[in-house]
Amino acid sequence: MAPPLPTRPSLAWFVLLDGGVAALTVLALSPTAHAAAQARAPLPSRPALKGLLGLTLVLHVGEAAAARRTAARHGLPVAHWTRQTFVVGFPSLLALRRIVRRG
């Protein structure tokens, strides 16, 4: 018997992706943080970062919706997959895809 597949991506994905989203949020929304970071390294403008943050939100909502449909279609826990995919994005969709393929 094969070992069960994980129902979530590794913690490293959560740290990497959510840490990046958190940093993006701070840089986009805080003039002080943006100025401090820009003094050390070149950064896009705050309006550009706000646009990227908005795109990130749209992508995560879309991924969560796709996970919700897939989980419902295959009798998997809809709330778990929707919430997890909204938080971490594509690694959750990949984990869901592996589970669905394995049956």
Q: What is the pLDDT along the chain (103 residues), one digit of tens a residue?
A: 455 556 788 999 999 999 999 999 999 999 999 999 999 999 999 999 999 999 999 999 999 999 999 999 999 999 999 999 999 999 999 999 999 998 7
Class of residue 85 by CB neighbours under 10 A (exposed 0-12, middle 13-18, buried 19+) = buried
Q: Where are the domains of the chain?
A: 11-102
Phi-psi region of 89 (alpha: psi -120 to 50; beta: other; left: phi over 0): left
The answer to pTM > 0.75 is yes
